């Protein structure tokens, strides 16, 4: 009787709050009532109804706002102009690395100058300009200026070098590259591979002797450009690149409505206010970094800080200081904070709420930990499952191949079962659409059919999660072709190809191994080298040019040959199990000693030092 009363009450709340018609709400409530069991239902209902109704109201609010912006043809620059009109003298950006403080009006004028400069140089709506620089206030002003005239910014990871850097510039069809002077060497290495038609602009310290031939200094050009508002086209906003989890980085398309949706879901979901100041220590080529203001140190005026899991572990490894609890931070916002250090991080730094979220730039199945549940990256409602069409489905964790039932439809996971997170694609729904990548081939690989029901389409997240009975989702590291290290996803396929090329096409297998006390999994490469011919000194120098720091293998294992399956795929299971323990491995093992900049022989003493945390990775 109590279950029926609760279901009836929930029906009325949904009808009034969410506005769903009776014929959609009633069947779902009845199905849940009939399929639920007594006290178990009451327990789930009591502990999740507040959370779920908040989430439902957030989704409704975001959907209505996004639809309004689409109906009124509002772009991010147009929305920004309204903010300038209301709060022109309010601080927009703070960059304590240089002591800069930009108001919304100053940011508006700077971005106008960038836009007018590009117009004068012949750039037009639909053109692409690659942005390759480290964090600074100008970064925001440059991409905003591009957006004001419909020029699309390709936001490139400043850790990339050589082939990966050229790939990201060329795949976007960029007509120009704006790079920071701190990355001059990286640009000079690949300038000849970009083609003479690509214009080059350098921002920052100007040294004409170091920059590639034909490069222009950006600052005087921007200063001399008009500051009036240019015409307002409506086009794609920018490209954000994936970490290369299935090969080279892919350029994810971010349209104006997606940018607003990402920001609004976080803003409303975690109950932010216009008075909040956010400390962003993430790179601005990262989707999370693009949504927030710039701060470069802890400050008593900050209220919300951003993180990735690696940053939290790094802070915990620092000596305790009295000042670390002297702040007004009320929330830490980010992803990748593991349950093993979650409580310690909150207690040590006196942070009341961890606002963990999950979601790739391009995905349509983002999650948010709205109720501060320890270890969870978000949730899916168990009493309102029809509100947000996402699901965990059974998958072969090694290959990430979907497991289907006799009817050909994917099999939903039960609580406690690991599965791949998927989101139903509904292109006319601003919260459910999937805009994909510049490459149609890459887009197609992220879409599966007959997932929720026969004939439908769904986005494949590529990540394995586990859900408890209350709907809380917990991240599970993949064992397939990707692992996470230093806060970045590392593609084993990409690294294997790069290392094999550097080692004259030797067989190379790359996989992640766990290291006690370290966040994520450290990269390890097993290399077939029966003749002991590898020159490690040359290998390190070549690798530093070809791979970003997080993708370089921490451990090496040299063996006579690498075992393969009958279909010529590398066998990684035994290699992962052996890990880097010299007592379990008779092959030669090496460790990348970052303090020495070279690989050193891994013996029992060094092994124990790594396990104890004395030897830093």
Residue listed under structure tokens 């109704």? 53
Six-digit token string for 142: 């440059």
Instruction: Write the CA distances from 49 to 11, 19, 31, 115, 178, integer angstroms.
Output: 12, 17, 17, 48, 49
Domain encompassing residue 536: 481-610
Q: Domain boundary at 438, 454, 476, which?
A: 476
Per-residue DSSP letter, 466: E
Q: Domain boundary at 426, 460, 476, which?
A: 476
Residue 108 lies in a domain: yes
pLDDT of residue 566: 43
Q: CB within 8 A of 199, min separation 6: which ones?
A: 121, 175, 176, 177, 214, 216
CATH number at residue 585: 3.30.300.30
Residue 63 lies in a domain: no
Residue 163 lies in a domain: yes
pLDDT of residue 10: 57
Decide if 485 contacts 510 (C-beta within 8 A): no
- 10 Å Cβ neighbour count for 21? 8
pLDDT digits (tens, 9 = 90+) for 128-184: 999 999 998 999 999 999 999 999 999 999 988 888 899 999 999 999 999 999 999
Domain match, 220 and 333 both:
no
Domain match, 313 and 384 both:
yes
Domain match, 304 and 343 both:
yes
Which three-class secondary structure state does DSSP give residue 376?
A: coil
Domain match, 391 and 463 both:
yes
Residue 61 lies in a domain: no
Going by DSSP bridges, is the β-strand pair 238-241/152-155 parallel, antiparallel, or unpaired?
Answer: parallel
Domain match, 519 and 537 both:
yes
Domain match, 289 and 431 both:
yes
Residue 251 lies in a domain: no
Domain match, 297 and 208 both:
no
Domain match, 441 and 551 both:
no
Residue 185 lies in a domain: yes
Q: How far apart are CA 147 and CA 232, in angstroms?
A: 9
Going by DSSP bridges, is the β-strand pair 457-467/447-449 parallel, antiparallel, or unpaired?
Answer: antiparallel
CATH number at residue 136: 3.40.50.980
pLDDT of residue 314: 80
Domain match, 446 and 490 both:
no
Measured over the CA atoms of residue 40, residue 43, residue 47 and residue 49, the dihedral's sign is positive
Domain match, 169 and 310 both:
no
Please give the angle made by the CA atoms of 538, 539 and 542, to the nearest 5 degrees: 85
Q: Domain boundary at 452, 476, 500, which?
A: 476
Q: CB within 8 A of 439, min separation 6: which ones?
A: 171, 250, 251
| Total domain count, the chain | 3
pLDDT of residue 601: 95
Taking 50 as the pLDDT cut, the residues of the chain under it are 1, 16-17, 245-246, 293-300, 478-479, 565-568
Q: How far apart are CA 340 and CA 342, in angstroms?
A: 6
Domain match, 414 and 541 both:
no
* DSSP letter string, 18-53: T---HHHHHHHHHHHHHHS-HHHHHHHHHHHHHHHH
Average pLDDT, the chain: 85
Residue among 385, 384, 395 nearest 421 (CA): 395
Residue 408 lies in a domain: yes
pLDDT digits (tens, 9 = 90+) for 535-593: 999 999 999 888 888 899 999 999 998 775 443 455 677 888 899 999 999 999 999 99
CATH number at residue 307: 3.40.50.12780
Predicted TM-score (pTM) of this structure? 0.75
Residue 254 lies in a domain: no
Q: How far apart are CA 199 and CA 158, in angstroms?
A: 19
Domain match, 82 and 181 both:
yes
């Amino acid at each position: 009787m109590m279950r029926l009363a609760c279901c009836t009450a929930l029906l009325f709340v949904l009808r009034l709050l969410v506005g769903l018609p009776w014929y959609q709400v009633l069947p779902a409530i009845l199905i849940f009532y009939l399929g639920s069991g007594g006290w178990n239902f009451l327990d789930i209902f009591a502990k999740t109804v507040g959370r779920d109704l908040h989430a439902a109201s957030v989704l409704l609010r975001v959907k209505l706002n996004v639809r309004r912006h689409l109906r009124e043809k509002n772009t991010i620059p147009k929305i920004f102009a309204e903010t300038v009109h209301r709060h022109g003298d309010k601080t927009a950006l703070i960059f304590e690395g240089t002591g800069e403080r930009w108001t919304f009006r100053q940011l508006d004028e700077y971005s106008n100058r960038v836009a007018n400069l590009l117009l004068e140089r012949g750039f037009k709506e639909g053109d692409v300009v690659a942005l390759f620089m480290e964090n600074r206030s100008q970064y925001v002003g440059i991409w905003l200026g591009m957006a004001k005239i419909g020029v699309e910014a390709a936001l490139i990871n400043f850790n990339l070098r050589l082939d990966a850097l050229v790939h990201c510039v060329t795949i976007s069809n960029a007509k120009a590259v704006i790079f920071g002077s701190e990355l001059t060497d990286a640009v000079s290495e690949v300038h000849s591979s970009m083609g003479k038609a690509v214009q080059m602009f350098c921002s920052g310290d100007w040294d004409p002797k170091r920059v590639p031939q034909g490069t222009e200094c950006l600052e005087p050009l921007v200063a001399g450009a008009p500051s009036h508002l240019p015409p307002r086209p409506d086009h794609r906003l920018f490209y954000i690149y994936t970490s290369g989890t299935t090969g080279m980085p892919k350029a994810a398309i971010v349209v104006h409505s997606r940018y607003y949706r990402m920001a609004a879901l976080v803003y409303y979901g975690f109950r932010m206010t216009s008075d909040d100041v956010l400390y962003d220590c993430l790179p601005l080529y990262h989707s999370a970094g693009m949504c927030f203001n710039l701060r470069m140190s802890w400050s008593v005026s900050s209220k919300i800080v951003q993180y990735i899991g690696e940053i939290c572990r790094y802070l915990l490894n620092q000596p305790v200081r009295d000042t670390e609890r002297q702040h007004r931070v009320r929330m830490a916002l980010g992803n990748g904070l593991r349950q093993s250090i979650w409580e310690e991080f909150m207690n040590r730094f006196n942070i009341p709420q961890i606002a963990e979220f999950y979601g790739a730039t391009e995905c349509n199945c983002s999650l948010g930990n709205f109720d501060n549940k320890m270890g969870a990256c978000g949730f899916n409602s168990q009493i309102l499952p029809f509100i947000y069409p996402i699901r965990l489905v059974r998958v072969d964790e090694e290959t990430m191949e979907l497991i289907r039932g006799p009817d050909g439809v994917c099999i939903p996971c039960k609580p406690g079962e690991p599965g791949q997170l998927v989101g139903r694609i509904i292109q006319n729904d601003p919260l459910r659409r999937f805009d994909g990548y510049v490459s149609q081939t890459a887009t197609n690989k992220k879409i599966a059919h007959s997932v929720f029901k026969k004939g439908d389409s769904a986005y494949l997240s590529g990540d394995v999660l586990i859900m408890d009975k209350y709907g809380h989702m917990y991240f599970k590291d993949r064992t397939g072709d990707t692992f996470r290290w230093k806060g970045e996803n590392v593609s084993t396929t990409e690294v294997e190809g790069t290392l094999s090329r550097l080692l004259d096409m030797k067989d190379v297998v790359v996989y992640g191994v766990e290291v006690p006390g370290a966040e994520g999994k450290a990269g390890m490469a097993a290399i077939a080298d029966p003749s002991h011919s590898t020159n490690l000194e040359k290998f390190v120098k070549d690798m530093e040019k070809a791979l970003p720091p997080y993708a370089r293998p921490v451990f090496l294992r040299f063996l006579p040959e690498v075992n393969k399956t009958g279909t010529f795929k590398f066998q990684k299971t035994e290699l992962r199990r052996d890990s880097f323990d010299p007592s379990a491995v008779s092959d030669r093992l090496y460790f990348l000693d970052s303090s020495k900049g070279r690989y050193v022989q891994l013996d029992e003493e060094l092994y124990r030092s790594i396990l104890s945390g004395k030897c830093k990775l």
